[in-house]
Amino acid sequence: MKLGRGKKKTDRPRRRPRVAGRPPFAEDHDFTESFEAPTVHEEVANPLIEKLSLLEQRAAAWAVFWIAYFVVCQIVSEDRRFEVLAPLSLAAVYGIPACLYAAWLWKSRRRSAEKTGLREATATVRPGWLYPRIDVYLERDYKLLQTRRSLRIAPRFKGLQKVPVFIGGEDTDMIVIFPRGRFSKDTLYTVPVKEIEPDTA
CB 164 within 8 A of CB 110: no
CB 48 within 8 A of CB 177: yes
pLDDT of residue 122: 92
List for the chain the helix, strand, coil content (%; round to 5): 40, 20, 40
Burial class of residue 152 (count of CB atoms within 10 Å of its CB; 0-12, 13-18, 19+): middle
Neighbours of 176 (CB within 10 A): 24
Which sign does the torsion angle of CA 48, 114, 138, 129 carry? negative
104 Cβ neighbours under 8 A, 6+ residues apart: none
Burial class of residue 144 (count of CB atoms within 10 Å of its CB; 0-12, 13-18, 19+): middle
Between CA 120 and CA 107 the distance in angstroms is: 22
pLDDT of residue 71: 86
Q: How far apart are the first and last CA of the chain?
A: 68
pLDDT in tens, the chain (201 residues): 444 444 444 455 444 444 433 444 444 444 344 335 557 777 778 888 888 899 999 999 999 999 998 888 888 777 777 667 777 778 888 899 999 999 999 999 999 999 999 999 999 888 776 788 899 999 888 999 988 888 787 766 655 678 899 999 999 999 999 887 666 677 888 999 999 888 754
DSSP bridge pairs for 177: 166, 190
Task: Kindly report the pTM of this predicted structure.
Answer: 0.71
pLDDT of residue 80: 73
CB 103 within 8 A of CB 63: yes
φ, ψ at 115 (rounded to 5°): -75, -40
How far from chain centre, in Å, is Cα 34? 23
